[in-house]
Amino acid sequence: MERILVLPGDGIGPEVTREAQRVLEVVGAESGLALEFEEDLIGGAAIEAHGTPLADETVERARSCRAVLLGAVGGPRWDDMAVDVRPEKGLLRIRKELELFANLRPAAVFPALASASTLRPEVVDGIDLLVVRELTGGIYFGEPRGRGEVDGLREARNTMVYDESEIARIARVAFESAGRRRGEVTHVHKANVLEVSQLWMEVVAEVARDFPEVRLDHQLVDSMAMLLLREPARYDVIVTGNLFGDILSDEAAMITGSLGMLPSASLGEGGVGLYEPVHGSAPDIAGQDLANPLAAILSAAMLLEHSLDAPKPAARIRDAVTRVLEEGHRTSDLAAPDQTPLGCRAMGDQVLAQLSGS
Ligand code: NAD
């Protein structure tokens, strides 16, 4: 029995994770995967119940499960609380407790949604890339850091630091992912000025030797920022450190055009993966059955692929989503003015209908 912990969170989180769970239940049963779902609290919901955005028992429960499916956290109700006890802290804590060092953000364009991108259709056509970002090291965590005063002037410093083991493990995730995709890794760096990037070049190339079927390229981060706009369809897997990955994953996401369509996976040393839509809790539409559940449903597909080694059921979900969109179904975030949008539940129903018909 594979236990999956669902942490719906706040706002639209419960609405979208409910649809993702329904899809997993159907696909799991049809594929002979024995899935068992448990539910717990995170974010504002956990603050209300336990006075903390993530209870210790929830952490323990997550550790004992195979994967975590998360909705989103946060909302105006908790905006005035101290930073240390706010909903977002629950998210940061679970990522830390599960030692999630690899963040995977696919950016793929569904042909039916190509017009949602700000780029021209011929540039957008065929985009199907994956940004693999190192999540627990680099300049966001390096020491020394802080602010001070030197000779009467305010000064601040941060330190970009990686050791070879941190680089090798994220590179491995990228090469393994590429092996299941089109077999190409682009390593993004700034080795012309940073020693840290020079070490990345060396270590990524060393890891590449274990993956002879995958082609490796190196690209300067400033060029990459331009190339992603000029020829995004050229790229398969992009691997990079925390800072560059933070920026490039958002850039890649935007070229596909719609926040409600973007899934993510975070993988760690402990073997428990965390899967969540990229969007937030959307308090403006929460509780109204207006949310687009497809990012959560596509996150569930990533869960099958990465935590349960079930790429075929994962592909079935993605195909079902593609067909639903091709048939013209849209939630309100995607609908054109002349289209009647579907609610969150009805969109989930459409995906389930495609799955049972396929
Ligand atoms: P948001 O992603 O929640 O919403 C931005 C806009 O996109 C809103 O207009 C919203 O209605 C819309 N939107 C988002 N997801 C949608 C979906 N699935 N379907 C339809 N429309 C969707 O970002 P925000 O408004 O900046 O933040 C709202 C709250 O969410 C804040 O409390 C923030 O801290 C939190 N947040 C949480 C996460 C997370 O849990 N990972 C990420 C980002 C923001």
In the set 10, 246, 275, 333, the catalytic residue is 246
> Please, which pLDDT band fits residue 282 given cuts at 50, 70 and 90?
very high
357 — pLDDT class (breaks 50, 70, 90) = confident
Give the burial class of 215: count Cβ atoms within 10 A of its Cβ; 0-12 exposed, 13-18 middle, 19 or more buried.
Answer: middle
Q: How far is the CA of 111 from the centre of ligand 1 (A)?
A: 24
CA of 322 to the centre of ligand 1 (A): 23
What pLDDT is attached to residue 298? 98
Distances (CA, A) of 263 to 34, 195, 196, 312: 23, 33, 29, 18
The string of DSSP letters for 254-307 reads: HHH--GGG-EEEEEETTS-EEEEESS---TTTTTTT----HHHHHHHHHHHHHH
Q: Report the chain's mean pLDDT, rounded to a whole number.
A: 95
The pLDDT tens digits of the residues spanning 310-330 come to: 999 999 999 999 999 999 999
Strand, coil or helix: 146? strand
295 C-alpha to ligand 1 centroid (Å)? 12
The pLDDT tens digits for 25-37 are 999 999 999 999 9
Phi, psi dihedrals of residue 287, rounded to the nearest 5°:
70, 10
pLDDT in tens, 149-178: 999 999 999 999 999 999 999 999 999 999
Domain-wise residue ranges, the chain: 1-98+272-358, 110-257
Is 140 an annotated catalytic residue? Answer: yes
Cα 290 to the center of its chain, rounded Å: 22
Query: Which of 135, 249, 259, 347 to probe ligand 1 with, by most ligand atoms within 8 A of CB?
Result: 259
Q: Which residue has the higher pLDDT, 257 or 289?
A: 289
Query: Given ligand 1 and candidates 281, 333, 344, which is best to mutate, with the most ligand atoms within 8 Å of its CB?
Result: 281
The verdict on whether 162 is a catalytic residue reads: no
pLDDT-derived band at 85 (thresholds 50, 70, 90) equals confident
3-state secondary structure of 192: coil
Closest ligand 1 atom number to CA of residue 91 = 40
pLDDT in tens, 190-210: 999 999 999 999 999 999 999
Contacts of 163 (CB under 8 A, 6+ apart): none
Q: What are phi and psi of 74, to 5 degrees?
A: 110, 165
Cα 177–chain centre separation: 14
Calculate mean pLDDT across residues 268-280.
Answer: 94
Which range, 81-85, 107-111, 263-267, is most confident?
Answer: 263-267
| Percent of the chain's residues with pLDDT above 90 | 89
Residue 319 known to be catalytic: no
pLDDT of amino acid 358: 64
CATH assignment of 1-98+272-358, given 3.40.718.10, 3.20.20.370, 3.30.930.10, 3.40.50.1000? 3.40.718.10
44 CA from centroid of ligand 1 (Å): 14
Q: How far is CA 56 from CA 10, 49, 68, in A?
A: 19, 13, 15
Residue 179: count of CB within 10 angstroms of its CB: 14
Question: What percentage of the chain carries pLDDT values higher than 70?
Answer: 100
**Per annotation, catalytic residue among 162, 190, 236, 275:** 190
Quick: pLDDT tens for 211-269: 999 999 999 999 999 999 999 999 999 999 999 999 999 999 888 878 899 999 999 98
What kind of architecture, by CATH, is found in domain 110-257?
A: 3-Layer(aba) Sandwich (3.40)
Does pTM surpass 0.85? yes
Distance 83 CA to ligand 1 centre (A): 18
Q: Which residues of 220-233 are buried (b: 16+ CB within 10 A; e: fewer)?
A: bbeebeebbeeebe
Res 288 pLDDT > 90: yes
Pocket residues for ligand 1 (CB within 6 Å)? 12, 16, 72-75, 88, 91, 259-260, 276, 279-285, 291-292, 295, 333
